[in-house]
Amino acid sequence: MDFGFEDHVSAFPNLQISHKLMVAFAAVVAIIFVSSAIVYDRLHVIEAAKNLRVHTTDVLDTLDGAVRNAVGIRFGAFSE
Average pLDDT rounded to a whole number, residues 26-35: 97
**If you average pLDDT over every residue of the chain, what do you get?**
85
pLDDT band for 58, please (50, 70, 90 cuts): very high
The total number of structural domains in the chain stands at 1
Best CA proximity match to 30, nearest among 19, 22, 41, 40: 22
More confident site: 76 or 44: 44
Evaluate whether residue 74 is within a structural domain.
Answer: yes
0.75 surpassed by pTM: no
Evaluate whether residue 16 is within a structural domain.
Answer: no
- Where residue 64 falls (left for φ over 0; alpha for ψ -120 to 50; beta otherwise) is alpha
Q: Which residues contact 15 (CB under 8 A, 6 or more apart)?
A: 23
- Asked whether 69 and 79 are in contact (CB, 8 A), the reply is yes
pLDDT band for 31, please (50, 70, 90 cuts): very high
Average pLDDT rounded to a whole number, residues 47-69: 94
Evaluate whether residue 2 is within a structural domain.
Answer: no
